[in-house]
Amino acid sequence: MDHLTQSYVGFLPRSGVSPTAKLLVAVDLPAYRSGSEASVVTISSNGRPKYFIFRLNQKGNGSVKVPFGKGKIDVVDLVITNASTRTSCWLDEAFTYSCAGVPKDDRLKYLYGSRLLQ
C-alpha cells in the first residue's frame, strides 16, 4: 500500500453461522512507527455501526474479536490504513507539490487473516 491510502475487506455472515458467532480478525502490518493503522466496523441488522480499533504493537501486529452472528450482524468491514507521512524531502526540485519528496513507507506488506468462532 502506498502512503495515505486505505484498503477495505468485507466479511458477510452466511448460512451456517450461529447467531452468537464472533469473528477474530488479525493483522500483520508494517511497524507501527511507519503509520500502520487498522479498524473494524460492524453493521448490525438494524443498520447501526460499531467501531473497533486495533491496538497494534510496535511491530504492527494486533487482533480484535467482534460480533458476527447471522441475523444480528449484516457486515463486518476491515479497514487497513497506511497513515505514513514520512518522506525524504527536496529530492525532486521539479515536483510542485508538498515537499518534493519520496515516501519512505510505500509498497510495504499489509497482511490480515480471520477466523470464525462459533
Instruction: Convert the pLDDT of each residue in 62-73 to its tens digit.
Output: 999 999 999 999
What's the pTM value of the predicted model, to 2 decimals? 0.85
Count of the separate structural domains present in the chain: 1
Please provide the DSSP assignment of 4-68 as one string. Answer: TEEEEEEE---TT--TT-EEEEEEE-S-GGGTEEEEEEEEETTS-EEEEE----TTSEEEEEEE-
pLDDT-derived band at 61, boundaries 50, 70, 90: very high
Please give the residue range of the domain that contains residue 74: 5-117
To which residue does cell 463486518 refer?
A: 76
Instruction: Convert the pLDDT of each residue in 73-116 to its tens digit.
Output: 999 999 999 988 777 777 666 766 667 677 778 888 999 999 99
- Give the CATH number for residue 20: 2.60.120
